[in-house]
A and B are shown apart, each in its own frame.
Chain A
Amino acid sequence: MKIRTFGRHIKESLKSLGRNGWMTFASVSAVTVTLLLVGVFVMIMMNLNKVADDLENDVEIKVFVSLDADEEAIEQLEEEITDLAGVESADFSTKEEELTDLVLDFGEELSLFEQSNPLFDVFYVKAVEPQQTETVAKEIETLEYIENVEYGEGKIEKLFDFLNAGRNVGLILILSLLFTAMFLISNTIRITIVARRTEIEIMKLVGATNWFVRIPFILEGMWLGILGSILPIGLIVVLYQRVTEFAQPRLSGELFQLLEFSPFIYQVSALILAMGIFIGIWGSFMSIRKFLRV
């Protein structure tokens, strides 16, 4: 196609947006609402995933060494643990170090216990894959000189179940919203087409190709999609800026963090724009098909 022709198509599509003012407004609003919900949902889901990942990576097995283990036994135990399949690391911490940590966390009153330390020596074991944590923990339990083994059983699994359920519900919601927006756009384009029927008829009679007739409508659908994504992108950028401003200082030093503002929010914006363009083009494509069979 010639560039001159393309310029003509763009002009035509823009003119048509103005002529069908109310329908344009209606479908742009529909796209706006849809994309805003999609955007917020994506933002929440991605962050929950991040939190889950962070928590998951933080899962460790706490191995309490029995009191009757001497230094030699402890050394041997360390070797045995690190030799187990799926173990990434095993950090040893004496009961004195454990108490110091406790005092740091809970206050000076606990330093009373320095006279007779009731704690155990501890190994902090990390599995290579978080999913292996349970198996590794069970194996450690069978070793000698083990007083007790602790890990966050059940909690992570629950978080993941919750996330998956949320994702499914959200997907269904978003798909139906996208469908509605597409339907509205395709209706708007249909009204545009009906209004320009004679024009299309004449175009076809004097030998315009199907693409020549089609492109202005497809462009019009694309504009509807782009216009509909402006507000959602703006709102989401502002919203996420506020969220990160609020959350970042409060979460510093915690086990999990939210996703950084950049590039995450730019990726979400690009996704919203792409979806707007897609539903716009697809919506108009669906409604032109019928009118071109001459």
Chain B
Amino acid sequence: MIQMKNVYKKYPNGIVALNGLNVEIAQGEFVYIVGPSGAGKTTFIKMMYREERPSSGQMLIDGTDIAKLKSRKVPLLRRNIGVVFQDFKLLPRLNVYENVAFALEVIEEKPKAIKERVMEVLDMVGLKHKAKMFPRELSGGEQQRVSIARSIVNTPKVMIADEPTGNLDPETAWDIMNLFEQINSKGTTIIMATHNRDIVNKLRHRVIAIEGGLIVRDAAGGDYGYED
């Protein structure tokens, strides 16, 4: 479903982030992306939703090279991809419900459908009772759950997470991982960049290790494998 062919990325400042990368990820997979800081993990992830474009090579999703996608088609691509960040990126002046609904409003969903769907995902992440609260009134874990709810509210095929547990304590991190497992079990592909050795080693999935812009290891059910 996701396929990278010789993806090479050089930033205008001369840094080569990806150096001819080849990878294939099937629908429904759960993939960890690991590697030291500056290895190219974030660039790798940004390629998937066309935040960045390859300098050369192909970035295929369902057979379409999204690097060549016209910019007015990019929004349609992104409606099929949910993104979760380390810093949650919630809108502080909107409450929990509004933050999640926002993702549907901007794609002009019908109000009735929005309400049903938002309550459904809030229930799933266990925050239905906090729908009226604002982000600042929530704990870090709760905020991350809101951002996960937002990312899956329009039922994307792929969920991309960049260090989703980076700002959370170990226990809360596990709550989030349980949620990811649950989402993955429903068929959503999950691609997660992480530094969390504990999670990668205990919750075994495919591990792709990136170093110097290249894949140095790609193992199904592999371990974290770094000493950092």
A positions within 8 Å CB-CB of B: 1-2, 4-5, 8, 198-199, 201-210, 212, 294
A5 to B104, CA, bound (A): 12
Residue of B nearest to A292 (CB): B71
Residue of A nearest to B105 (CB): A8
A199 to B99, CA, bound (A): 10
Residue of B nearest to A19 (CB): B93
Residue of B nearest to A211 (CB): B72
Q: Known interface pairs A4-B111, A212-B106. Does A207 touch B89 (Cβ–Cβ under 8 Å)?
A: no
Which residues of chain A are within 8 angstroms of B67 by Cβ–Cβ distance?
none
Determine if A206 and B79 form an interchain contact, defined as CB atoms under 8 angstroms apart: yes
Bin chain B's interface residue count: 20 to 34
Determine if B79 and A202 form an interchain contact, defined as CB atoms under 8 angstroms apart: no
Determine if B51 and A207 form an interchain contact, defined as CB atoms under 8 angstroms apart: no
B positions within 8 Å CB-CB of A: 49, 51, 71-72, 75-79, 83, 89, 91, 102-103, 105-108, 111, 150-151, 154
Determine if B83 and A205 form an interchain contact, defined as CB atoms under 8 angstroms apart: yes
Which residue of A1, A4, A208, A294 contacts B106 across the interface (Cβ within 8 Å)?
Answer: A208
Which residues of chain A are within 8 angstroms of B150 by Cβ–Cβ distance?
202, 206
Q: Closest CB-CB distance, A1 to chain B, in whole Å?
A: 8
Determine if A210 and B89 form an interchain contact, defined as CB atoms under 8 angstroms apart: no
Q: Known interface pairs A202-B89, A212-B106. Does A207 touch B111 (Cβ–Cβ under 8 Å)?
A: no
Determine if B108 and A206 form an interchain contact, defined as CB atoms under 8 angstroms apart: no
A-B contacts besides A202-B89, A202-B102, 13 pairs, CB < 8 Å = A202-B91, A202-B103, A203-B102, A205-B49, A206-B78, A206-B102, A206-B107, A206-B150, A207-B75, A207-B78, A208-B106, A210-B71, A210-B72
Q: Is chain B's binding surface mostly helix, strand, loop or mixed?
A: helix
21 cross-chain CB contacts under 8 A: A1-B108, A4-B108, A5-B108, A8-B105, A202-B91, A202-B103, A204-B75, A206-B79, A206-B103, A206-B106, A206-B150, A207-B76, A207-B78, A207-B79, A207-B154, A208-B106, A209-B72, A210-B71, A210-B72, A210-B75, A294-B51
Which residues of chain A are within 8 angstroms of B78 by Cβ–Cβ distance?
204-207
Q: Closest CB-CB distance, A277 to chain B, in whole Å?
A: 26
Determine if B91 and A207 form an interchain contact, defined as CB atoms under 8 angstroms apart: no
A292 to B103, CA, bound (A): 18
Q: Closest CB-CB distance, A229 to chain B, in whole Å?
A: 31
A208 to B154, CA, bound (A): 12
Which residues of chain B are within 8 angstroms of A212 by Cβ–Cβ distance?
106, 108
A25 to B199, CA, bound (A): 53
Which residue of B72, B106, B151 contacts A203 across the interface (Cβ within 8 Å)?
Answer: B106
Which residues of chain A are within 8 angstroms of B75 by Cβ–Cβ distance?
204, 207-210
Which residue of A1, A202, A208 contacts B107 across the interface (Cβ within 8 Å)?
Answer: A208
Residue of B nearest to A210 (CB): B72
Q: Known interface pairs A205-B83, A207-B79, A209-B75. Does A199 touch B107 (Cβ–Cβ under 8 Å)?
A: no
A198 to B154, CA, bound (A): 19
